[in-house]
Structure 1
Amino acid sequence: MSAGRGDRVAPPAPDGHWEVRFADAAASAKGWENLARQARENTFRAWTVMRTEPAPAAETPRHHRLKGSLAHGTHRGRTCRQWQIEVTGAGRVRCLLDTSRATCWITFAGTGHPRATDRS
């Protein structure tokens, strides 16, 4: 699903910031819109964090690297570390960090807690 008429326009990343992109438009973009409708301000804060400091030196319970089988993921042939941001009590954003391209690939965004993280 590519951007079209009526879709929001994301600004390009300024120097020193990360690009934030959807790894899978069908799942991530729809989940992102649902999350934005449910918690607009918190979703904006999550986007700002992904843009400026997607891998903080000091992890928090609301922003941390995933563990176990979810610690890494592959996008376009690159293996990347995977992080999660808690946007609401159940709403989450998971992303792969491609450090060589300063790109944060959103792999999951949704209003419900992803079951896969319950196992890690």
Structure 2
Amino acid sequence: MNAGRGDRAAPLAPAGHWEVRFADAASAKGWESLAQQARENTYRAWVIMRTDPRPATGTPRHHRLKGSLAHGRHRGQICEQWQLEVTGGGRVWYLVDTARDTCWITFAGTGHPRATDRC
């Protein structure tokens, strides 16, 4: 069975951890492609989203998106949008939904997302 919109990206989160879910079917498909290309890096990205999705200090490989991409909307909630660089071109974008303690993966892919070129 393939993952899709709203599906959890892994087992239930233990206390103190965040849920990681797919915002749509395209992000679930991109996540699978990314995991096939870079299994360990994708796993590390998942761990980061589970344990520290909004670090106090961003890094070049993990930071909040800027401009029009800095926020996104999911289920009527406006959330901060962050990026994890999984490989040289592979990225994961996710919304930090503090009301639900959930990271919603909005984009996952093996190639650099063109939307960042506009910001």
Q: TM-score, normalised by structure 1?
A: 0.91
- Report the 3-state secondary structure (helix = DSSP H, G, I; strand = E; otherwise coil) of the residue aligned with 2:35: helix
Distance 2:94 2:57 in 1: 17
**What one-letter code is carried by the residue in structure 2 that aligns with 1:23?**
A
- Return closer, same or farther for 1:33/1:15 CA change in 2, 3 Å cut-off: same
Total equivalences in the alignment: 116
Q: Which runs of 4+ in 1 moved over 3 A?
A: 1-4
- Report the 3-state secondary structure (helix = DSSP H, G, I; strand = E; otherwise coil) of the residue aligned with 1:43: helix
**What one-letter code is carried by the residue in structure 1 that aligns with 2:62?**
H
Q: Give 1:117 deviation, angstroms.
A: 1.1
**What one-letter code is carried by the residue in structure 2 that aligns with 1:12?**
L
Distance 2:28 2:99 in 1: 24
Q: Tell me whether 1:27 sits opposite 2:26 in the alignment.
A: yes
Q: TM-score, normalised by structure 2?
A: 0.92
Distance 2:114 2:65 in 1: 13
Identity across the alignment (%): 78
Match of 2:46 in 1: 47
Q: Give 1:10 deviation, angstroms.
A: 2.0
Superposed CA offset, 1:33-83 (max 9, x none): 000000000000000000000110010000000000000000000000000
Unmatched 5+ stretches in structure 2: none
